[in-house]
């Protein structure tokens, strides 16, 4: 049974999430170095972390007629939503808050990123960042429905919206095994809401880093941290949804949860560097013409199984 953890888990959960995000960033730096033929040492892995003090000390950029309030609001909401989404993810047998509607909570927090990134694009009063914000909304319209159906597949099979129950319901056979479409679409969704890898179109190089482009200093740090926190949170959520949660032989639940999370995170980070950027308008058509029908059929499978049970 999943239980609600002690009060200090409110501090431990964000710390764990941050640790996962740092590992992901380090792994990404190592892969980048290997691809470029540079030496892959500990120094290479830790190099991106040097950005943190640099950004903290950087002078903030000022723009004429920026909407500072909305801009700040958007920038802050991305990492905050990522941390809040992690509160419902069970770590072994405990979650900070095992809400009865945990899946919907995770989904709602992920949608906060829509508002956040659009505001981060709108706030600076600059063309490229605004285009970045619009691109994320288009990308959101593309990934959201398939992602929702993927979440629904897991919830339907477990007959519960509680994340702990979904993890419990997969004794022996993981949902990832018999619902591969939902699992794949979910992982694509994770990349999309962290706007990384093939889904970094909103922060694309062609528009000078888009939503990130006009931010500097702490703002930049928060947005960059937000997307990696989202990647980690999405990877952690994949474990109870599709990979049996903390269950496994020999090791305690928390160990299995971390191992599986790190494995999913590693796969996601590897994929980041292996795929070209997908344009939002192209992904919209692909999502609506191919992914929505596919995931609908995927939801039908557990629905029929539950009905026949």
Partner 1 sequence: MESVLPAVLGVLALAGGVLVFRCDSMARATFALLLSLCCVGGEVALLGLPYLGVVTVLMMIMEMVVMAVFMIAYMMNPAGLMPMSMLHNKRGSLALSAAVFAALVAAVFLVPWPDRRGGPPPDTTVQVGRALMGGQMLTMIVLGFVLLATMVGATVLATRRGRYDRFGDALDRRTPRDPVGGGVGR
Q: How many CB atoms lie within 10 A of CB 141?
A: 15
Q: Which residues contact 20 (CB under 8 A, 6 or more apart)?
A: 232, 235, 236, 261, 262, 265
Contact characters 150-169, partner 1, x per CB under 8 A: -----------x--------
Identified binder of partner 1 from the candidate list 97, 141, 294, 303, rule CB under 8 A: 141
CA 242 to chain centre: 15
| 70 near partner 1, judged by CB under 8 A | yes
Phi-psi region of 52 (alpha: psi -120 to 50; beta: other; left: phi over 0): alpha
Piece of 1-9, 89-97, 264-272, 275-283 that binds partner 1 (CB under 8 A) = 275-283
- Number of residues interacting with partner 1: please give it, by CB under 8 A: 34
Q: Which of 104, 259, 266, 292 binds partner 1 (CB under 8 A)?
A: 104
**Residue 239 burial (CB count, 10 A):** 27
Is residue 198 a contact point for partner 1 (CB under 8 A)? no
63 is a contact residue toward partner 1 (CB under 8 A): no
For residue 91, list its beta bridge partners: 94
The Cα 259–Cα 252 span in angstroms is 11
Out of 112, 266, 271, 301, the residue judged to bind partner 1 by CB under 8 A: 112
**212 or 280: CB nearest partner 1:** 280
Using CB under 8 A, which of the segments 90-98, 114-122, 223-231, 253-261 binds partner 1? 114-122
| Residue 100 binds partner 1 (CB under 8 A) | yes
Residue 286 sits in the site that holds partner 1 (CB under 8 A): yes
CB of 96 to partner 1, least distance (A): 16
The rounded Cα 59 to chain-centroid distance in angstroms is: 29
Among 28, 98, 144, 224, binds partner 1 (CB under 8 A): 144
Binding residue for partner 1 (CB under 8 A) from 122, 143, 230, 242? 122
Helix (H, G, I), strand (E, B) or coil at 108: helix
Q: Does 228 bind partner 1 (CB under 8 A)?
A: no
**Stretch near partner 1 under the rule CB under 8 A, chosen from 35-43, 115-123, 166-174, 265-273:** 115-123
- Tell me how far apart the 2 most distant CA atoms of the chain are, in Å: 63
State residue 4 phi and psi, 5-degree precision: -80, 135
Contact residues for 200 (Cβ-Cβ < 8 A; gap 6+) = 277
């Amino acid at each position: 049974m999943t239980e609600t953890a002690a009060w200090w888990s409110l501090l431990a959960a964000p710390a764990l999430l941050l640790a996962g995000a740092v590992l992901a960033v380090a792994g990404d730096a190592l892969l980048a170095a290997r691809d470029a033929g540079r030496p892959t040492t500990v120094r290479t892995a830790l190099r991106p972390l040097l950005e943190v003090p640099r950004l903290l000390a950087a002078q903030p950029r000022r723009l004429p007629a920026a909407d500072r309030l909305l801009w700040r609001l958007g920038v802050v909401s991305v990492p905050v939503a990522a941390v809040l989404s992690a509160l419902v993810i069970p770590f072994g047998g405990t979650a900070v808050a095992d809400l009865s509607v945990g899946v919907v909570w995770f989904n709602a927090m992920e949608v906060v990123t829509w508002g956040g990134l659009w505001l981060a694009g709108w706030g600076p009063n600059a063309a490229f960042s605004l285009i970045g914000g619009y691109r994320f909304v288009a990308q959101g319209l593309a990934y959201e429905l398939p992602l929702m159906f993927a979440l629904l597949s897991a919830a339907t099979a477990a007959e519960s919206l509680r994340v702990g129950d979904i993890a419990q319901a997969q004794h022996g056979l993981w949902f990832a095994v018999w619902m591969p479409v939902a699992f794949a679409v979910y992982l694509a969704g994770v990349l999309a809401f962290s706007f990384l890898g093939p889904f970094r179109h909103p922060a694309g190089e062609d528009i000078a880093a888009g939503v990130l482009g006009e931010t500097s200093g702490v703002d930049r740090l928060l947005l960059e941290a937000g997307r990696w926190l989202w990647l980690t949170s999405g990877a952690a959520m994949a474990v109870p949804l599709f990979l049996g949660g903390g269950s496994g032989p020999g090791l305690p639940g928390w160990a299995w949860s971390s191992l599986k999370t790190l494995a999913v995170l590693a796969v996601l980070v590897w994929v980041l560097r292996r795929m070209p950027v997908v344009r939002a308008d192209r992904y919209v058509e692909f999502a609506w013409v191919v992914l929505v029908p596919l995931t609908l059929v995927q939801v039908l499978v557990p629905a029929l199984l539950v009905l026949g049970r």
